[in-house]
Amino acid sequence: MLENRRLLRVLRRTVLQAVPTILGIIILNFLLLKLAPGDAADVMAGEFGAATEETMAMLRQRFGLDVPVLQQLLAYLSNLAQFSLGQSPRYGVPVSELIGQRLPSTLMLMVMALAIAFGLGIALGTAMALTAGRWPDRVLSLVSLFFYSVPGFWIGLMLIVLFSVKLNWLPSGGQETIGAGLTGLDYALDRLKHMILPATSLALFYVAIYGRLTRAAVLEVSSQDYVRTAAAKGLPPLAITLRHVIRNALLPVTTLAGIHLGGILGGAVVIETVYSWPGLGRLAFESVTRRDFNVLLGVLLLSSFLVIIANTLVDLLHAWLDPRVEVR
């Protein structure tokens, strides 16, 4: 009962803080985007390769670009107030539809990448800490340094070359076998197969970070009094590591994971391009080059929601991991 009320209070505060943040994000982004040279009509007319002045005027009018910037901003905000993200003039469909098509792909990729990064990173870090100073630690440190320093697109391409071109085990791109008409379990497996390489490429950088972080945290926690006490009362080493050490060592890792969520969304642009993955990152990137700002603002808005939600989740996770932490 008390717990629920506390949670409600947290949610209320989160929402109250989120509204000005998001409003700021929208206005700032809107004005920044307007600084970019050329507008959607320029780009479309350019792509047509041939256009007349009437075409340009018609495009601008249809895109709502023929009125002053402030008026455009107000129009956008009033749209938002009615829970509408507006239309993409380029595609001629509502922005929410475009985003709705891409969101599941990106979320799945993100969740899978985070899961891999978390699982592998913590395992790697624990292994390094337990063998600190000996050769397994050295080798794994080197590996994680490698993951940390090579760019994502290169790892992505190398994985494709190895696993799709040479070994032919996994597909080279896309998110499903197109037109195969699979259903049920076969479909799920097919999707999973397509996700392995992009999620891994996206995760490896974070594996390195979480690995290093876990290593340091585990080493620190291992020297704490309560760990010595646990050992003294005769607990087996595995139980000590899992129950007492890792659980406490996870705190800094989860904090960082919340922050990384935004970064993973950003990194997804590259991975989505390399793997031809129809996700939000590419949609956003293409909207920039095409000056399709309604779409871009929609994606940015949604991303800020995602980051805020993720951070709230991390707060709650903290409270669960460490009962001493008050949910703020």
Partner 1 sequence: MKSPVFKAAAALLVGAALLAPAAEAQQPKHGGTLRFVMKYEPPTLSALNNTSTPTTSAKVWDGLVTYDADLKPLPMLATSWSLSPDGLQYTFSLREGVTFHDGKPFTSADVAFSILRLKAGHPRGRGTFANVTEVKTPDAKTAVIVLSKPSPYLMVALGPSESPIVPKHVFESFDVATPPGPPQHIGTGPFVLKEWVRGSHAVLDRNPNYWDKPKPYLDRVIVRFMPDAAARAAAFEAGDLDLGGLAPVPLSDMERYKNHPRLAVDTRSFAYTGAQNQIFFNLDTPILKEKKVREAIAHALDLQAIVDTVFYGYAKVSPSPISVALSTWYDPAVQPRKFDVNIANKLLDEAGHPRAANGMRFPLRLLFNPFIDARLAEFVRQSLRRVGIDATTQNLEFGAYVKGVYTDRAFDLTIESLTNVFDPTVGVQRGYWSKNFRVGLPFSNSAHYENPEVDRLLEAAAVEVDPAKRKELFSQFQRIVHADVPSVDLVSPLEVIIANKKIRNYARGAEGLGDNFSDVHFVD
> What residues line the site for partner 1 (CB under 8 A)?
36-39, 42-43, 45-56, 58-59, 62, 90-93, 98, 101-102, 153, 157, 160-161, 164-165, 168, 171-175, 178-179, 273-276, 278-279, 282-283, 286, 289-291
291: left (phi over 0), alpha (psi -120 to 50) or beta: left
Tell me the CA distances in angstroms from 15 to 21, 258, 301, 309, one per residue in order: 10, 17, 14, 10
Rounded distance, CA 156 to CA 173, Å?
Answer: 10
CB of 183 to partner 1, least distance (A): 15
Considering the complex, state which of residue 54 and residue 225 has its C-beta at the smaller distance from partner 1.
54
225 burial class (0-12, 13-18, 19+ CB within 10 angstroms)? exposed
Cα distances from 145 to residues 67, 101, 137, 148, 312, in angstroms, run: 52, 36, 12, 5, 30
Q: Which is nearer to partner 1, 56 or 321 (CB)?
A: 56
Least separation in angstroms between residue 276's CB and partner 1 is 5
Judged by beta carbon, residue 162 or residue 239, the one nearer partner 1 is: 162
Question: Is 125 or 156 the residue whose CB approaches partner 1 more closely?
Answer: 156
Minimum distance, C-beta of residue 298 to partner 1, in the bound complex (Å): 14
CA distance 45 to 205: 40
Shortest Å distance, C-beta 12 to partner 1? 37
Task: Specify the residue, 178 or 185, whose C-beta has the smaller distance to partner 1.
Answer: 178
Distance in Å, CB of 149 to partner 1, minimum: 20
**Minimum separation from the CB atom of position 127 to partner 1 (A):** 32
Residue 61 or 224 having the CB closest to partner 1: 61
Amino acid in position 16: L
Cα–Cα distances in angstroms (integers) from residue 295 to residues 22, 92, 259, in the given order: 16, 11, 24
Amino acid at 150: V
Please give the structure tokens belonging to residue 145. 């340094």
CB 153, min distance to partner 1, A: 8
| Euclidean distance between CA atoms 200 and 158, whole angstroms | 12
Given the complex with partner 1, which of 174 and 266 has the nearer CB atom? Answer: 174
Residue closest to 80 by CA, chosen among 298, 308, 288: 298
